[in-house]
Amino acid sequence: MAFRREKYVPRGGPSGGDGGDGGSVVFEATSQENTLLRFRYDREFRADRGRHGEGSNRHGRSGEDLVLLVPAGTMLFDEETGQLLADLAEPGQRLVAVHGGRGGRGNAHFAKPWHRAPKECEPGKPGEEHRLRLELKLLADVGLLGFPNAGKSTLISRISAARPKIADYPFTTLEPHLGVVSADGTPWGRTFVVADLPGLIEGAHKGVGLGSRFLRHIERTRLLAHLVDVSDANPRDPVRDFEIIVAELAAFSAELAAKPMIVVATKLDAATTPEKLEKLRQFTAGRGLAFHAISAATGRGIPELVRGIADALDRIPRARPPAEETAPVESTSPEPSDTP
């Protein structure tokens, strides 16, 4: 509330300016981020507040929006209702998750011919406040899965530039890793993204071992590569290993268990007897699944496997966005082209 008081302006009248609007909290997907780790330690985010209006009809400055960068593939849920608000699957997509408050009106708005010196002013409206849950599902074409120490990390380090931790004990991989693979060996050839997941064991869907919390990362994949250890050091039956992992997939999600799959027998360099390999080969043939046998240590069979994966991806259409009802998502990415 303010009144104009100048030497040569008699009865200047009300001159209180409006307050500025508060900033909003915006989530934006980017390819420069790959984890949600920062949100584990920073739990509260506030946008900039609007500034007060001033005399001489000066409008207060609006607060700046707070833009939070998240990896592409992040899903935002309302913590209270569980509703999916947005699926930021593509870099550049934005969601205004929390809107800022509206600035109040100064007393200049309330001047009337019959009320020339109003002392009324309107306070601003508070901004929104929401409690959100963020969930990341990696965007990959192929998901590597299998028992611990099946050779997943060694394989992804051999076919891509990813460098996960590799050791001779179970559960070496504690978080998913992504690697870009060139199928044809040329920069302009076919490429695809592979996700290496921590190992699964029987009862993973009940929380045994590392549990199945990492399986959400392959829900977006188009193809599953199931690695089975056929070396002499593995005392288990390879067919039984395959059935256990498939059962865990089905327990987690029927849609995940129905994804196209290829079976990869690993560690041929440590297999002195062919019985396990042949048994697994015959079993997969009976199920109509593509089969490859490799040794990531020596490189045997890896070029054929990479080309086989690329050929399989050529026959599988790309995944479509989920069908859940979501809030409108603003996209700041360039205009889409016909090139996938």
CATH number of residue 244's parent domain: 3.40.50.300
pLDDT, position 116 = 79
Segment 64-78, tens digit of pLDDT: 899 999 888 888 999
Please report which confidence band the pLDDT of residue 156 belongs to, taking 50, 70 and 90 as the band edges: confident
Longest dimension (CA), the chain: 106
pLDDT, position 280 = 92
pLDDT, position 218 = 75
pLDDT, position 260 = 92
Structure tokens at 186: 């040329």
3 state DSSP class of 290: strand
| Total domains present in the chain | 2
Amino acid identity of residue 248, one-letter, is: E
User: What proportion of the chain, given as a percentage, has pLDDT over 90?
Assistant: 16
Q: Are residues 98 and 190 in the same domain?
A: no
Last residue of a domain, one of 136, 158, 185: 136
Across 58-62, 71-75, 207-211, 287-291, least confident range: 207-211
Structure tokens at 202: 């029987």
The domain in which residue 291 lies consists of 142-314
pLDDT surpassing 50 at residue 99: yes
pLDDT surpassing 80 at residue 138: no
Across 99-108, 175-184, 262-271, least confident range: 175-184
pLDDT, position 171 = 44
Q: Are residues 196 and 233 in the same domain?
A: yes
312 and 323 Cβ atoms separated by less than 8 Å? no
pLDDT, position 293 = 92
Last residue of a domain, one of 101, 136, 171: 136
Last residue of a domain, one of 101, 119, 136: 136
The position carrying tokens 């064991």 is: 201
- Higher-pLDDT residue of 247 and 173 is 247
**Residues 204-211: what's their mean pLDDT?**
49
309 and 225 Cβ atoms separated by less than 8 Å? yes
**Residues 110-124: what's their mean pLDDT?**
83
Q: Are residues 132 and 198 in the same domain?
A: no
Q: Look at residue 99 and tell me if it is in a domain.
A: yes
